[in-house]
A and B are shown apart, each in its own frame.
Chain A
Amino acid sequence: MTAATAHGSAGWRTPWTPGTAIVTPSWRACYGRASMDAPDAQLIRTIAAAGRDARLAEAELCRRFAPRIYLYGRRHLRDEERARDLVQAVLLAVLQAARAGRVAEPEHADRFVLGTCRHLASRVRSTAARDVPVDPGLLETVESSAPWTTWNEARADAGALVRCLAALDERSRQVVMLSFQDECPADEIASRLAMTAGHVRVSRHRAVAALRRCLESRAATAPEVAQ
C-alpha cells in the first residue's frame, strides 16, 4: 500500500531501516499521521525478524490497513459491528502470518491483506471470528488501530442529512432512498420510476454528490452544538 505502491518497492524515497527512529511520539495513538515511511514489505520483514522494532512495525502496518479493512467490511458485510470484527480478525491473522514469516510476497502486502479479508468475511458474517485465543500484546496493537473513530467523524450528521435530502428534487430523493434504504438495483428502480437504468445511475451519482456538497456546506457554517 502507501509507500510500496506509491514509490515502487525499490524506489521509495526515505528508506527506513530497523533501529532508526522515524517514529512520532504519538505512535501509540496509531491511527494518526504516518509514523514510519517504510514500504509495507519492509514492515513485514521487520515483523518477521522479531527485532526491537517489530512492535512498531506491527503498529504501523495496522495503522495503514485498518481503514481499508473497515471500509471493505462496511461494503461487504453492511454492518458496523461486523466491520469492526473483521478489522480485528484480519489484522490479527496478518500479524500472526507476518510473525511466522508466512507472507509469501511481502511486496504485495495489500493483496495478502485483501485475500485475508475475503477469506474471513464469510466467517465474520456467521460467527464470532475473534473468539480465538491470541497474544494480549498483539490484541492491544490491533485494537489501537480503530479506524471507526475517524470514520464516525467523517460520517454525515443524520440531522443535516435529513435537511439535505429535503433539498433534493423528489425524483433524486426517491432514487437514493430506493438505492440505499431498500437496496434496489438500478434496473428495478428504473422500472418502478419509469426511467432507464442509465438515467437512474446518473441521477444517483449526482444526488450523492449533491448530498456531499450540502453536508460539507452545512458542516462549514453550522454553529457548535452544545452537547
Chain B
Amino acid sequence: MTACPCPLSWETLVDYWAGDLPPAEADRLDEHLFGCDTCAQVSTRVASVTEALRDLLPPALSRARLNALRATGLRLRENAFSPGERRVVVFGDDTDLLVHRLAGLDLNGADHVSLQVVVESTGERLVVVDAVPFEREEGAVLIACQRHFASLPADTRFELAIHPLGSQGAPARAVYTILHQYPPAKVGGPPP
C-alpha cells in the first residue's frame, strides 16, 4: 500500500462521520475514500467508535421509546424492582433487551432524575447521567440492558436521585442492586 499524498485528517474524518460537513465536502471525501487505502483505513478506525456510539442505547429510555423498539421486533423482557431490592436477573436466549423497571418512586413533584450506575464490588462508576427520562405516572425509571453488556461486571448498583421542582429540598434517593447472569451460548445455536 502506497502512502496517501494528501491524507485526510482525523478531525475531518470525525466531522464526516458526525454528518457535520457541508454536502460538497462530504462528496469530495467519499470520492477520496473510494480511491485511497490509507485514508479508508483511518476512516474505518473512526467509524468503529462513532458507529458503536450510535448503536449504543442510552442507559435509561422512555416508555414511548421502548414501545417503538418493541414494534421493530425486538424481544423485550421487563423486570420490576422496588427501592432497596437486590436480585439476580437472567438474560435468557429469548430476550434481546432486558428492561429493569426501577419502580416505587414518587415522581409527582420531580423536576429531573439523575442516574449513577456503580459496580457493587469495586465501586467503579459505569454511568453518570444528570437527567434521564422517567415515567411520572408509573413512578418508574426504565433501564435498558443490552446483551452486549455481558462484558461488564455482573453486579451493578443503580442509584437514582429525584430532584424536586423549584430546587426545593434535597433530592430523594433510591438504590437498586441487580446481579446479571448470562447463560452460556448454546453451541450451534443461532447467533446472538
Contact = CB atoms under 8 A, between A and B. Distances in A.
The answer to whether A and B belong to the same complex is yes
B15 interface: yes
B47 A205 contact: no
Interface on chain B toward A: helix, strand, loop, or mixed SS?
helix
Interface string B37-77: 10010011111111111111010000000000000000000
Interface string A177-188: 101110101100
B161 interface: no
B185 to A, nearest CB: 5
Contact of B54 (A118, A180, A211, A212): A180
B56 A211 contact: no
B89 interface: no
Contact of B148 (A71, A157, A170, A202): A157
A161 B52 contact: yes
A111 B127 contact: no
B134 to A, nearest CB: 18
A67 B40 CA distance: 9
Contacts of A67: 40, 44
Interface in B1-49: 1-2, 10-11, 14-20, 30-31, 33-37, 40, 43-49
B161 to A, nearest CB: 16
B148 to A, nearest CB: 4
Nearest to A201: B15
Contact of A159 (B20, B30, B54, B151): B151
A156 B20 contact: no
B30 A72 contact: yes
B46 A71 contact: no
Interface string A71-96: 11011001000000000000000000
Contacts of A57: none
A222 B40 CA distance: 27
Interface residues on B, range: 35 or more
Interface string A145-163: 0000001001111111111
Given A2-B37, A110-B34, A226-B184, A181 B51 contact: no
A22 interface: no
B14 A162 contact: no
A63 interface: no
Interface string B122-143: 0011111000000000000000
Contacts of B20: 179, 185-186, 201
Contacts of B19: 183, 185
Contacts of B185: 227
A161 B53 contact: yes
Contacts of B152: 159, 162-163
B150 A166 contact: no
Given A185-B19, A185-B20, A158 B47 contact: no
A180 B53 contact: yes
Contacts of B56: 158, 161-162, 181
B45 A68 contact: no
Contacts of B95: none
A120 interface: no
Interface of A: 1-2, 5-7, 67-68, 71-72, 74-75, 78, 110-111, 113-114, 118, 151, 154-163, 165-166, 170, 176-177, 179-181, 183, 185-186, 201-202, 204-205, 208-209, 211-212, 215, 222, 225-227
Given A72-B34, A177-B53, 17 more contacts: A1-B37, A2-B37, A5-B36, A7-B2, A67-B40, A71-B44, A75-B17, A111-B31, A154-B44, A161-B53, A166-B127, A176-B53, A179-B18, A180-B50, A181-B53, A201-B11, A222-B151
Interface of B: 1-2, 10-11, 14-20, 30-31, 33-37, 40, 43-56, 58, 124-128, 146, 148-152, 184-185
